[in-house]
Amino acid sequence: MSKSIIQVKRQCLICHNSNVEEHHCIYGTANRKLSEKYGLKVYLCPEHHRGTRGVHGRDGKTLDTYLKQLAQSKFEEKESREKFRQIFGISYL
């Protein structure tokens, strides 16, 4: 399992709770594997991961978009936007 290039501490990125789950910022079958490969993942508490306002919750679109943009920004610190588009087929920035 690769390390996150987004955060070092194993705590919720949003509320800093230490009860966390790993979230792949760019998800879906193929993209989940790519997120793993490039370290595009964060730690989220269950509420921010699967809760109503969590990334996978019904009201989580804003948080989901923010995490995708954050992941792409971190990726682009070492690689180009074009490479991100080639790998993931989209740009969030």
pLDDT in tens, 7-23: 888 999 999 999 999 99
Give the pLDDT of residue 1: 53
Burial state string for 46-57 with b = 16 or more CB within 10 A and e = fewer than 16: ebbbebeebbeb
> Structural domain of residue 80, as residue ranges?
21-86
pLDDT recorded at residue 74: 95
Q: Please count the structural domains in the chain.
A: 1
The pLDDT value given to residue 69: 96
Encoded amino acid at 43, one letter: Y
Report the candidate in 80, 1, 84 with the shortest Cα–Cα distance to residue 41. 1
pLDDT of res. 6: 87
The residues, ordered by sequence, that sit 6+ positions from 86 with a Cβ below 8 Å of its Cβ are none
> Would residue 2 count as lying in a domain?
no
Is residue 46 in some structural domain?
Answer: yes
Other Cβ atoms less than 10 A from the Cβ of 93: the count is: 10
Q: pLDDT below 50 — which residues of the chain? A: none
